[in-house]
Amino acid sequence: MALLGRRKPGFTTTEAVDPRTLSDAVNEDNIVTPCPAAEQAAGQPPVEEPLPANMAQALAQFVRNHSRGGYLVSLAQLSREDPNVPTLYEQMTSDPACGDIRSYKTAKDTYLYEEGIMSELYLMLNALALDGDDVNTIVTLVRYNSKVFPTVTPLDYFFRTPFSMTQEQVDAAVETILATGGELADIAETQAPSGNRYLYSTDHLTPVYAKSLAEFAEAND
């Protein structure tokens, strides 16, 4: 099935390379300082990974591999790719060997992950990023930062992984948020003396306080 051989963007893919196309620098004969760790590893017996006993456990292993790389597994996306996944998921939840696999539910999807690998915050960030709703991602995190730290949130926060939004995406989402009012009316903008833009929630910060925190966030000596 597609499941075990599948690679998400960002994961390594294996390509067959014709050694004749390599430059001299990387031909084996020219490697004069072999890596000690590689030499040591070459002398060791191969690590035996136990094969999954069934496909539900294979799914669990797939989730673990992703979690260890910092990724959540989208149940909806995987189910679209492989119709067996919903059944396997049901089997997995009742298999004690898969007890470390947890799910994180959002309004849009259910995300699978291995327990104890990712922080609560990262689960939230990752799920928001995968949901792909830029407005909701920004609003949720601006409120979270205003409440928990308390602090204002710089717009470039959303350029970082795992969001990796573009300037255009952020600008469009912020414009929508600030124009929407209603449920989003608590989200406001302030600027640091540098002109950099920050968002905050008026439920937690006053405009005067927010402005001063933007100045604080940038001090650079």
Partner 1 sequence: MSVQNGINGWAGTVLRVNLTTGSVTREDTLPKYKPYIGGMGIGYKVIWDEVPLDTEPFSEEAKVVFSVGPLTGSGVPCSGRTTITLLSNWSRGKSIVDAHMGGHIAHSIKYAGYDAIIIEGKASKPVYLKIEDDKVSLEDASHVWGTGTFNTNKVLSAECGAEFDVASIGPAGENLVSMSCMITSFGNSGGAGVGGALGAKNLKAIAIRGTGAVKIADPVEHKNLCDYMIRDLVGGNNNHNVPSRPQSWAEYTSTVKNRWQGGPGVMWGAAPDGAIDTGEQPSGQIAVAAYRATKGVFDYGDVVQQYIVKSGGCASCPVRCYSEYNVDILAEYDLPTLVSNTCVPAGSGPTSFYLKDAMHDFKDEGDSKIVLGLHGAYVMDDLGLWENYNNLGREFAWCLKNGVFEKMLPKEEFDSIPWHLMEEGDPRWLDDIMGRIARKEGEISRIGEGSYFFYKAWGLDDASKNEWGVNMYDMIGGNNNVTYNGYPKHHSSEDGWQSGLLYNVMYNRDCMVHVLTNFVRSGSPFNEVIKPVLESYFGEGCVDAPKAYTPINENKVKLAKWCFLQKQWQDSATLCDWMYPMTLSSSPARKYVGDIDLDAKYMTAVTGEEWTMDDILFSAERISNMLRGITAISFKIHENMDNLRKTHDAVPAWVFDKDPDVPAFSEGTDKMDREDWEKSLTMFYEAMGWNVDTGIPTRETLEKFDLGDMADKLEELGLI
- Closer Cβ to partner 1, 57 or 190, answer by number: 190
Q: Are 98 and 92 in contact (CB under 8 A)?
A: yes
- Shortest reach from residue 117's CB to partner 1, in Å: 7
- Tokens 């690679």 appear where? 7
- Shortest reach from residue 181's CB to partner 1, in Å: 25
Tokens representing residue 11 in the block? 């994961």
Tokens representing residue 126 in the block? 């990752």
Q: Going edge to edge, which strands form the sheet with 197-201?
A: 153-154, 197-201, 187-191
- Closer Cβ to partner 1, 56 or 204, answer by number: 204
- Closer Cβ to partner 1, 57 or 146, answer by number: 146
Reduce the DSSP state of residue 116 to 3 states and report it. coil
Q: Residue 61: what are its φ and ψ, rounded to 5°?
A: -65, -40
- Tokens 């590689």 appear where? 38
Q: Give the contacts of 94 (CB within 8 A, at least 6 positions apart).
A: none
Contact footprint for partner 1 (CB under 8 A): 70, 117-122, 125-126, 145, 148-154, 157, 159-162, 164, 206, 208-209, 211-213, 215-221
- Shortest reach from residue 29's CB to partner 1, in Å: 19
- Closer Cβ to partner 1, 52 or 154, answer by number: 154
- Closer Cβ to partner 1, 69 or 86, answer by number: 69
- Shortest reach from residue 82's CB to partner 1, in Å: 25
- Shortest reach from residue 90's CB to partner 1, in Å: 27
Q: What share of the chain is helix, strand, coil (3-state, %, to 5)?
A: 50, 10, 40
- Shortest reach from residue 217's CB to partner 1, in Å: 4
Candidates 145, 150, 155, 141; CA nearest to 190 is 155
- Closer Cβ to partner 1, 54 or 103, answer by number: 103
